[in-house]
């Protein structure tokens, strides 16, 4: 058990390296005829988006569970998945414009897919700000409610290109389009690699948050014991 985490780190590192090789090499995924090499951004852009969506759904589950059971572990899981999800969503928002510039001739356009992704990112950034700067006892409950709102936006972001005219291409899954099987293979490989990476980052962040709460509790206990007569200020 002690060596499980380092072993998983090494395996994930190998998987990420192999997935990157497959994404960049013509031996892995074929070069797209219209866009050329720049289309290979797809193998990082799309799996990052899917990983972010997956993390936001885990965040939703943990938030709902926290609202029902008031379980602190669920609260930590919600915080961690939101934070790592925001990192992946940031990758989507950065790689998207880098891909758009050579293909569309513009960095950004206020169409529904791009705007809704930005709004989703802003919702989860505000969630993290709420967690960081609010010291109220009700913060986890408010954050859980905000997380539910955020997760409701995820299907809207994904399917926005069905309901609105947009410059963004149709979704790879469920969009009615077709994709070369070798491209799909590399895409899924990269998603698997990013999902494993996200899992490990969440694991580390979860342990850190748990330790942080234990230290905060120890500080609170010590400050109570340090009071003259072992009484807290509020009790006096």
Partner 1 sequence: MTSNPYLFAAYAATWIIHIVYLATIMRRYSRLKLEVDDLNRK
Considering the complex, what minimum distance in angstroms separates the CB of residue 145 from partner 1?
26
In whole angstroms, the minimum distance from the beta carbon of 41 to partner 1 comes to 4
Return the structure tokens found at 96: 């998207």
Q: Which is nearer to partner 1, 20 or 142 (CB)?
A: 20
Q: How many CB atoms lie within 10 A of CB 65?
A: 17
Angle (CA) 183-26-197 rounded to 5° is 60
With H, G, I as helix, E, B as strand and everything else as coil, classify residue 134.
coil
| Closer Cβ to partner 1, 141 or 224, answer by number | 224
* Least separation in angstroms between CB 88 and partner 1: 9
- By CB under 8 A, name the binding residues for partner 1: 20, 24, 35-38, 40-41, 44-45, 48, 84, 87, 90-91, 94-95, 98-99, 101-102, 197, 201, 204-205, 208, 211-212, 215, 218-219, 222
The CA-based diameter of the chain, rounded to the nearest angstrom, is 78
Measured from the CB atom, the residue of 86 and 144 that comes closer to partner 1 is 86
Residues 199 and 213: their CA atoms lie apart, in Å, by 21
Neighbours of 197 (CB within 10 A): 19
- Nearest CB to partner 1, comparing residues 53 and 99: 99
């Amino acid at each position: 058990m002690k060596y499980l985490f380092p072993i998983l780190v090494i395996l994930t590192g190998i998987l990420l390296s192999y997935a990157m090789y497959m994404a960049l090499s013509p031996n892995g995924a074929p070069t797209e005829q219209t866009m050329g090499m720049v289309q290979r951004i797809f193998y990082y852009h799309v799996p990052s988006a899917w990983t972010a969506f997956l993390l936001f759904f885990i965040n939703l589950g943990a938030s709902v569970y926290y609202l029902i059971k008031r379980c602190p572990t669920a609260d930590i899981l919600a915080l961690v998945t939101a934070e790592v999800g925001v990192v992946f969503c940031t990758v989507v928002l950065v790689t998207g414009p880098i891909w758009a510039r050579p293909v569309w001739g513009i960095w950004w356009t206020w169409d529904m897919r791009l705007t809704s992704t930005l709004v989703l990112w802003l919702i989860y950034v505000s969630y993290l700000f709420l967690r960081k700067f609010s010291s109220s006892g009700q913060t986890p409950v408010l954050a859980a409610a905000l997380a539910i709102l955020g997760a409701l936006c995820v299907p809207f972001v994904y399917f926005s290109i069905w309901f609105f005219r947009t410059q963004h291409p149709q979704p790879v899954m469920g969009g009615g389009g077709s994709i070369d099987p070798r491209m799909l293979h590399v895409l899924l490989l990269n998603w698997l690699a990013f999902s494993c990476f996200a899992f490990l980052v969440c694991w580390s962040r979860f342990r850190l948050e748990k330790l942080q709460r234990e230290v905060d509790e120890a500080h609170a206990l010590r400050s109570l014991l340090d009071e003259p007569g072992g009484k807290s200020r509020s009790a006096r």
